[in-house]
Amino acid sequence: MASKLDLILPWQQDLPEGKLGFEHHAVKKYEEELSKKDLKKVLLIDDSMRAISTLNKIFNNLGCNTFVSFDGYAAINSLMQTDVDLIILDMMMDGLDGSSTLEKADELLLRLHEDDDYLDLENSKIPVVIYSGLESRNIHVKETKYFRLIDVWQKPISYSQLFSKAENILMETRKP
**In CATH, 40-172 is 3.30.590.10:** no
pLDDT of residue 73: 95
pLDDT of residue 124: 79
* Cβ 48 vs Cβ 3: under 8 Å: no
Domain boundaries, the chain: 40-172
Could you tell me what percentage of the chain is helix, strand and coil, using 3-state DSSP and rounding each to the nearest 5? Answer: 45, 15, 40
Which pLDDT score is estimated for 175?
59
* Contact status, residue 4 vs residue 30, Cβ threshold 8 Å: no
What per-residue confidence (pLDDT) applies to 16?
A: 41
Q: Which residues of the chain have pLDDT under 50?
A: 1-25, 27, 34-36
Query: What pLDDT shows up at residue 113?
Result: 74
pLDDT score, position 112: 81
Q: At what angle do helices 159-172 and 49-61 cross, to 10 degrees?
A: 50
What pLDDT does residue 173 have? 81
